[in-house]
């Protein structure tokens, strides 16, 4: 499929380098757009992209572009997706899909109305290791799940720190990396929590730099997650069942997990990436477009909306609003 990229930041570079290695699968980058033409030109030269534009509007108007990867800051996702849908483009939009669930509902509605595909780029959802995990859970290997724990944290400095915490851009740890924790929990529970409790630290930017969340799910399963931009937390996760545990040393870049049963059995499941993990969401987008779908049946709008709504509710419990929500 012929791709265009909106924005030229770090995540856009990872996407571009991935597509470069998927040419034999029919994936090709044909255009890139930035608010600065020089940034677009340099990006195009680095990744061998045919055309570059000094505006997002010009990229959306490129008739050769079939699908757009939206990699702009959080608060621009909604308006960028609206523009691309109105230009007749299929969309893979970086997470968080939008900064609130209502905007996301409107994007899914509009895409369906126009007969175009749209999906949140929650890339870990498509990692092959998780298909193996679901099989093990379905076979009741560790028994009924009682508790799940996961965490994710890193330190941002300088301009990156300012951008990560910028309230006008929909910043903060919850939407940036807490979404991975909550998305992982949803992958396991396949449900919205019945209740949650959360503690948060709000920084001088007016956004969250650290929080913990305790959740209760239907059927008695509980969960705990912690997310921080300011403290290093290994991306570890553990699923506790009646018969044993499943643990991930890195649940985000997951290529393996360990099954430990209480009867003494222990074994590893290893499923390495073909490239870097991004390739699977790209393949899913192309599959769905080829089949004429407006949404994925593997990562549905309901899956995405459940996590987005939960993040809305968590922010509301904190009393934290973004700058553009205060008027």
**Residues acting as catalytic residues:** 95
DSSP class of 174: I
In the sheet where 2-6 sits, what is the strand order?
A: 51-53, 28-33, 2-6, 67-70, 90-94, 118-121
Q: Which residues lie across from 59 on neighbouring strands? A: none
The secondary structure of the chain in percent helix, strand, coil, rounded to multiples of 5, reads 40, 25, 35
Give dist(CA 93, CA 71) in Å, integer.
7
State both tokens at 254. Answer: 């997951």
**What are the CA-CA distances from residue 195 to residues 152, 166, 167, 178, 222 (Å)?**
22, 29, 27, 17, 10
Question: What angle, rounded to 10 degrees, do the helices at 10-20 and 37-47 form?
Answer: 30
At 264, list the tokens: 């003494």
């Amino acid at each position: 499929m012929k791709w265009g990229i909106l924005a030229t930041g770090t995540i856009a570079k990872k996407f571009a380098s991935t597509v470069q290695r998927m040419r034999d699968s029919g994936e090709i980058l044909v255009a890139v757009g930035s608010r600065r033409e020089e940034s677009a030109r340099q990006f195009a030269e680095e990744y061998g992209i045919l055309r570059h534009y000094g505006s997002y509007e010009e990229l959306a108007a490129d008739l050769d572009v079939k699908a757009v990867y939206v990699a702009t800051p959080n608060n621009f996702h909604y308006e960028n997706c609206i523009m691309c849908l109105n230009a007749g483009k299929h969309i893979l939009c970086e997470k968080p899909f939008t900064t609130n669930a209502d905007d996301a509902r409107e994007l899914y509605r509009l895409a369906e109305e126009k007969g175009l595909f749209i999906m949140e780029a929650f890339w870990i959802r498509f990692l092959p290791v998780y298909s193996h995990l679901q099989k093990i859970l379905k076979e009741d290997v560790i028994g009924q799940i009682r508790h799940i724990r996961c965490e994710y944290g890193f330190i941002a400095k300088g301009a990156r720190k300012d951008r990560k915490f910028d309230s006008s851009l929909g910043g903060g740890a919850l939407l940036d990396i807490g979404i991975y924790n909550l998305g992982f929990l949803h992958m396991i529970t396949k449900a919205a929590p019945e209740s949650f409790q959360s503690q948060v630290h709000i920084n001088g930017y007016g956004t969250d730099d650290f929080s913990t969340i305790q959740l209760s799910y239907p059927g008695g399963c509980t969960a705990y997650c912690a997310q921080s931009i300011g403290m290093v937390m290994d991306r570890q996760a553990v699923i506790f069942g009646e018969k044993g545990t499943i643990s991930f040393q890195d649940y985000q870049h997951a290529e393996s997990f360990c099954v430990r049963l209480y009867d003494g059995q222990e074994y590893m499941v290893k499923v390495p990436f073909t490239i870097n993990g991004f390739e699977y969401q790209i393949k899913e987008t192309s599959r769905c477009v080829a089949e004429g779908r407006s949404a994925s049946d593997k990562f549905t709008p309901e899956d995405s909306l459940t996590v987005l709504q939960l993040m809305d509710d968590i922010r509301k419990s904190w009393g934290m609003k973004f700058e553009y929500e205060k008027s």
